Each structure stands twice: as structure tokens, then as C-alpha cells.
Amino acid sequence: MWKLGLCAMALVACACPSQQGGGPVGAGSGSTVAAAGSSAASCAAVRDKVAGLYRVEAQVREPKRVEAAVADNTAMVMRDCARSPATVAPCIDAAPTVAALEKTCLVPLDPEGTEGDALGGHK
């Protein structure tokens, strides 16, 4: 599994070279992450960061089920990222903690623990 993550990181690094003004005319420093590749690649690029943030949290809060907690939470974040990769992936990349990631990047959960109306649910 770690080899897959390592390969994904290597692909992202090769696909996103650091350029100083070598891009197309009009592409300034404000270009989005999606400009370097497909939207799905943006979400894939932040997957390891998401897993790392949730691993740290799970080791403290759920030490007996770290792997399951990391897998569950990472899958949740990747679903949200897939819905709006151009905005969610850069937000995830900038989030320093799980709390910041969940507060600023993800669809908020309603009191029942679901995405509710945000995804077309009914009251």
C-alpha cells in the first residue's frame, strides 16, 4: 500500500514541475492546481496528506483502530474532494490540521451526522 502512495507522489512531482514564468501567456502565480492535470489528479495529490493528518489524530483518539479510522476518514474526504476538486484539493493542501480541514474544506455535517441538504437531502 505504501508503494502505491509513493508512486502517486512521484507521479505528482513529475507532473507538477516548479516553473518561474515558463507557463502559457496569462497563467500567473494564481493558476489553480487543476491546471497541472485532471481534477482527479488534484484529489489524488492530497490523499497522502489527508491520511497523514487522520493518522496522527487516530493514534491519539482511537489507538486500537488507527488503520480503520484513517481509511474511513480519508474515504470521506476524498468523496468531498471528488465533488469539487478545483476548490477542495487546494483547501486540503493548505489545511494544517484535521480540525481546519473539516471546518474549511468539507461539506458540513448536519446534527444527525449526515451531509443533509448540502447534497440534496430533505428536511
Cβ(98)–Cβ(53) below 8 Å: yes
Q: What residue type is assigned to position 11 of the chain?
A: L
State how far the Cα of 75 lies from the Cα of 35, in Å rounded to an integer: 24
Contact between 57 and 96 under an 8 Å Cβ cutoff? The reply is no
Contact between residue 108 and residue 118 where contact means Cβ atoms under 8 Å apart: yes
* CA angle centred on 70, ends 65 and 75, rounded to 5°: 130
Per-residue pLDDT of the chain (123 residues), as tens digits, is: 444 443 444 433 444 433 333 333 433 444 333 344 455 569 999 999 999 999 999 999 999 999 999 999 999 999 999 999 999 999 999 999 999 999 999 988 766 655 545 545 444
* Rounded to 5°, angle at Cα 67 from 118 and 55: 70
* pTM of the entire predicted model: 0.59
